[in-house]
């Protein structure tokens, strides 16, 4: 199925023409060959399940669906977006865990999923990611981030879903409290994630922050 047919099927009100979809410019951008490379549908009051069919638009470099009301998991088909550089799903109602396929997107530079209700482990991978925002979820940092200097990472935003919760006592922080959400610029290693993936675990992902 062509990209235009996919968009027409997934968003008929926004893309009524299944044969032409390189406009309006505020929603979509195409390259010189009319391949869809940018889809910007933030704040469009979209809801329900994220369309699995979007994984068929393999020319996409930017997919922005933030500020909607999607309440599903992230489709495994998004792992087919081999050219994707920016994935922004912030401020929806997404649930469940990351599909392992997302970790295989080797060109991905920005991954933003903050302000959802996702949980569980983030898959390994993300070798090219420079900005990783998953604050206010209940996610565990990827195992291959732990104890390593993130050579490409410039910013990580990982405050937990409860920004005022007291972190369980540990050697580095006997009475620590999770700091306010922010994006932290650093090159320090990530240390000591909570192995139980409980609701406090995301604080452990602060690059250059305290240990949990």
Question: What are the angstrom distances between the C-alpha of 168 and each of 49, 120, 158, 161, 212?
Answer: 35, 18, 17, 15, 7
pLDDT score of 18 = 94
| Segment 111-119 long-range contacts (CB within 8 Å, at least 24 positions apart) | 111/87, 112/66, 112/86, 112/87, 112/88, 113/74, 113/89, 113/137, 113/139, 114/90, 114/157, 114/181, 115/90, 115/91, 116/89, 116/90, 116/91, 116/92, 117/93, 117/161, 118/94, 119/95, 119/197
DSSP for residue 103: G
Q: pTM for this one?
A: 0.77
- Integer Rg of the chain from CA: 18
Tens of each residue's pLDDT in the chain, 212 residues:
899 999 999 999 999 999 999 999 999 999 999 999 999 999 999 999 999 999 999 999 999 999 999 999 999 999 999 999 999 999 999 999 889 899 889 999 999 999 999 988 777 777 778 888 888 887 776 666 655 545 566 666 665 554 443 333 333 333 333 333 344 444 444 443 334 443 333 334 433 332 33
Give the whole-angstrom CA distance, residue 82 versus residue 60.
8
DSSP for residue 137: B
Q: Are the C-beta atoms of 55 and 77 separated by less than 8 Å?
A: yes
pLDDT score of 163 = 44
* Closest to 203 (Cα-Cα) out of 86, 94, 73, 173: 173
pLDDT score of 130 = 81
């Amino acid at each position: 199925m062509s990209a235009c047919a996919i968009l027409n099927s997934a968003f008929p009100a926004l893309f009524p023409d299944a044969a032409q979809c390189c406009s309006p410019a505020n929603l979509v951008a195409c390259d010189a060959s009319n391949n869809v490379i940018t889809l910007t549908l933030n704040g469009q009051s979209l809801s329900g399940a994220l369309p699995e069919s979007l994984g068929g638009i393999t020319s996409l470099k930017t997919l922005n669906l933030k500020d909607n009301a999607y309440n599903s998991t992230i489709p495994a088909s998004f792992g087919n977006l081999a050219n994707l550089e920016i994935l922004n799903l912030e401020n929806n109602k997404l649930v469940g865990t990351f599909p392992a396929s997302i970790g295989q997107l080797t060109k991905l530079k920005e991954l933003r999923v903050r302000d959802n209700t996702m949980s569980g482990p983030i898959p390994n991978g993300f070798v090219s990611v420079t900005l990783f925002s998953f604050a206010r979820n209940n996610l565990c940092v990827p195992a291959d981030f732990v104890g390593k200097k993130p050579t490409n990472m410039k910013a990580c935003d990982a405050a937990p879903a409860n920004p005022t919760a007291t972190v369980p006592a540990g050697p580095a922080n006997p009475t620590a409290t999770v700091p306010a959400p922010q994006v932290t610029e650093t090159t320090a290693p990530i240390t000591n994630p909570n192995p139980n993936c409980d609701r406090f675990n995301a604080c452990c992902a602060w690059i250059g922050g305290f240990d949990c």
